[in-house]
Amino acid sequence: MNFPATFPELQTERLFLRQLNTDDVNPIFELRSSKEVNKLITREIPKDLEEATEFINICYQEFEKQNSVFWVMQLKETNELIGTIVYHNISLDKDYAEIGYELNAKFYKKGFMNEAIQKVISFGIKTMSLKVIEAFTHQNNIASIALLEKHNFVYQPDRRDKGFENNRIFKLINNN
């Protein structure tokens, strides 16, 4: 597997996918503390801007350790940060990563996540040489499940996400 030496900036028709930075603390706090976004996500919710800044610093550290690549999704038209997409729990020796994503609720059902995931999957396979990409999503997150299936992820009915009984695991295998 090829972990990027410098942070990979990607573009789609309507989005810049770039590295998170401390200027993003307010929109990251808003996104990660949103009741709507977190409705089907189990995670620590930042209580204040200090915790959001700490999260940004952790994202930097995880990239440096080659454990994750955490992109923010920014609209080309307005530069507004509307979501995030990440490869995390990367295993260099197994050519494996988990993909995760979140989107500001006011941008739901506009195709932005479809654009972003298509670009990130392509980057993961072509540039990082990933062989397996997994996604863990809540069983009631119909939009996320539909997105994964659209991109050829296959439900793994025999696997469970320990400690997160409502999650379902989907897998994409690159046989190239």
* CATH number reported for the structural domain that contains residue 114 in this entry: 3.40.630.30
Structure tokens at 88: 């995390």
Q: Is the dihedral of CA 126, 129, 131, 132 positive or negative?
A: negative
What pLDDT band is residue 40 in, cutting at 50, 70 and 90?
confident
Q: Is the dihedral of CA 80, 81, 83, 86 positive or negative?
A: positive
Residue 77 lies in a domain: yes
Residue 28 lies in a domain: yes
Say yes or no to pLDDT of 38 above 80.
no
In the structure, how many helices (H) and strands (E) does the chain have? Answer: 5, 8
pLDDT digit string, tens, across residues 71-129: 999 999 999 999 999 999 999 999 999 999 999 999 999 999 999 999 999 999 999 99
pLDDT of residue 163: 84
Contacts of 4 (CB under 8 A, 6+ apart): 69, 127, 128
Structure tokens at 148: 């994964």
Pair 14, 142: CB distance under 8 Å: no
Higher pLDDT residue, 144 or 37? Answer: 144
What pLDDT band is residue 37 in, cutting at 50, 70 and 90?
confident
pLDDT of residue 157: 93
Distance, in Å, from the CA atom of 171 to the CA atom of 5, rounded to the nearest integer, reads 26
Residue 1 lies in a domain: no
Closest CA to 116 of 13, 27, 44: 13
Number of domains in the chain: 1
Residue 3 lies in a domain: no
Residue 99 lies in a domain: yes
pLDDT of residue 162: 86
Residue 109 lies in a domain: yes
> One-letter amino acid identity for 71?
W
Say yes or no to pLDDT of 164 above 90.
no
- pLDDT more than 90, % of the chain: 86
Of 3-7, 71-75, 129-133, 162-166, minimum mean pLDDT range:
162-166
Residue 4 lies in a domain: no
Q: Which domain holds residue 97?
A: 10-173
Residue 2 lies in a domain: no
